[in-house]
């Protein structure tokens, strides 16, 4: 039986996985992300591109957030949702808070660098002015398997 909290996010997470699958083509870690508008439309897409661009900030989440902000013509992504295959790091968690995203949905936990509940919990820190809702574990096994295969093959 599918968890009712996670069920609405299965489709968007599959689309984020499609982005992630493309990242290894350039030697990048397979992480994919989408920013969804209030109506569920895709405003931004991203996949890791650090190796492809030589940009240390080219994480899937940051690229999806940048594209969504450009699409809206607004840096505040109020009422929007970030869907990402791997738990965001501290940089991406900071970008999520600063962009005022309402919700973060992620797949696999990142026990080494996760900043949305595992190693740190930046997005729910009460000292910050914005705290998005967090839904985790959506297609977690599929998201984790993609990463496991990538690093095993390296």
CB atoms within 10 A of CB 129: 7
Phi, psi of 33 (to 5 degrees): -145, 155
CA–CA distance, 14 with 120 (Å, rounded to integer): 26
Does residue 94 contact residue 123 with C-beta atoms inside 8 Å? no
For the question of residue 61 being annotated catalytic, the response is yes
89 marked among binding-site residues: yes
Q: Give the 3-state secondary structure of residue 39.
A: coil
Active-site option among 18, 19, 51, 61: 61
143 marked among binding-site residues: no
Does residue 116 contact residue 95 with C-beta atoms inside 8 Å? no
80 marked among binding-site residues: no
- Binding residue ranges for Zn(2+): 59, 89, 92
Which residues belong to the active site? 61
- Binding residue ranges: 59, 89, 92
């Amino acid at each position: 039986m599918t968890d009712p909290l996670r069920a609405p996010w299965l489709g968007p997470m599959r689309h984020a996985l499609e982005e992630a699958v493309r990242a290894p083509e350039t030697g990048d870690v397979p992480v994919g992300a989408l920013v969804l508008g209030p109506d569920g439309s895709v405003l931004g897409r991203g996949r890791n591109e650090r190796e492809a661009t030589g940009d240390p900030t080219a994480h899937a989440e940051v690229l999806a957030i940048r594209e969504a902000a450009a699409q809206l013509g607004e840096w505040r992504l109020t009422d929007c949702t970030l869907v990402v295959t791997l738990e965001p790091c501290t940089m991406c968690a900071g970008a999520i808070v600063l962009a005022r995203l309402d919700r973060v949905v992620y797949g696999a936990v990142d026990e080494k660098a996760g900043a949305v509940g595992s190693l740190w919990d930046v997005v729910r820190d009460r000292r910050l002015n914005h705290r998005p809702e967090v839904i985790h574990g959506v297609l977690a096994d599929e998201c984790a398997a993609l990463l496991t295969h990538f690093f095993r093959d390296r």
